[in-house]
Each structure stands twice: as structure tokens, then as C-alpha cells.
A = this chain, B = another copy of it.
Amino acid sequence: MVLVSRKEHFNAAHKLYNPAWSKEKNEQVFGPCANENWHGHNFELIVTVKGKPDPDTGFVIDLKKLSLLIRTEITDQLDHKNLNLDVPFMTGKLASCENLIIEIWKILEPRIAAISRYGRLHQLRLYETPRNFVDYFGEGQTS
């Protein structure tokens, strides 16, 4: 089994805000991340697929197809967008990296299985900044 990874990026705005709370409580909990006028980041997304290399191609998955899938399904939906307002799959969810990476997994996991004979989604990593990032291995999975 080999792991194959592809990194893509998107630039987006968001705020951290729980609508069940007062403005004061949001500012107390989320600090400057709760700024009602938004802030933003250059996000980097790494998608890792695990499987046996296909003997005919030497590939676990064709990275051109994986890149195209990530762009079509994920980064085209997120790039130059507002994560709280513009993204259907984030509607009604707190726009944290933890919640975002779980939603990205739900979209990519079946689609990668559909385009790859040998590979299955194994890990996602999402950088919000070079110093803050999250990883997800799917429900019930551990690293």
C-alpha cells in the first residue's frame, strides 16, 4: 500500500460566530476571529489517497484526475468565497477548520472511490495558515 498526495489551495473569507450566542459572548470566545466584517486566509488542502499501484500505470491514482476532482468539487466552491455565506455545504455550520475538513471528506470520499480502481481517501490536511492546520482520517478511523 502506497499513499499518494496532492496539494491544492483556495483563498477565502470567514468569521467564527455562533448565532446562538450574543455578540459579546462571540467576541469573548472567538476574539478577533469573530470580527463581523470578516477576515480571510490562503488555505492549502492536501488530499491523500491510499492503495496499491496499478501494474499497468504504476499509479495508485492518476494525480491529474485527482487534481481535477479536487478543483471541481472543492476548491472551485471555496476559492474567492465567503465560507459562512457562499458555500452550500457549510450552511448552518460554524466555519471552523474542523467542520470544514469533515464536510470536504464527505464530498471527496465517494467521488475518489468512483474514479479510482485501487485508491481510497485516507487523509485530509487543511492549512489555515502556515502555523495552524487540521487533519482528518474519516469517521472511526485513527492515524
A26 to B48, CA, bound (A): 25
Q: Would you call B86 and A37 a contact (CB within 8 A)?
A: yes
Interface string of A19-35 (1 = CB under 8 A from B): 01000000001111101
A37-B82 contact, Cβ under 8 Å, with A58-B94, A98-B2: yes
Stoichiometry, copies per complex: 6
B2 x A57 contact (CB < 8 A): no
Evaluate contact between A37 and B13: CB separation under 8 angstroms: yes
Interface residues of A (CB under 8 A from B): 1-9, 11-14, 16, 18, 20, 29-33, 35, 37-42, 48, 53, 56-60, 62-64, 79-82, 85-86, 93-99, 101-102, 122, 129-137, 142-143
- Chain B residue with minimal CB distance to A101? B2
Chain A contact residues: helix, strand, loop or mixed: mixed
CA distance A7 to B62 in the complex (A): 26
Smallest Cβ-Cβ distance to A1: which chain B residue: B142
Contact A6 B131 (CB under 8 A): yes
Contact status A53-B86, CB under 8 Å: no
* B41, B63, B96, B101: the one within 8 Å of A40 (CB): B41
Which partner residue on chain B sits nearest A118 by CB separation? B98
- Expressed in whole angstroms, the minimum distance between the Cβ of A92 and any Cβ of chain B is 12
Asked whether B16 lies within 8 Å of A13 as measured between CB atoms, the reply is: no
- A85 proximity list for chain B (CB < 8 A): 37
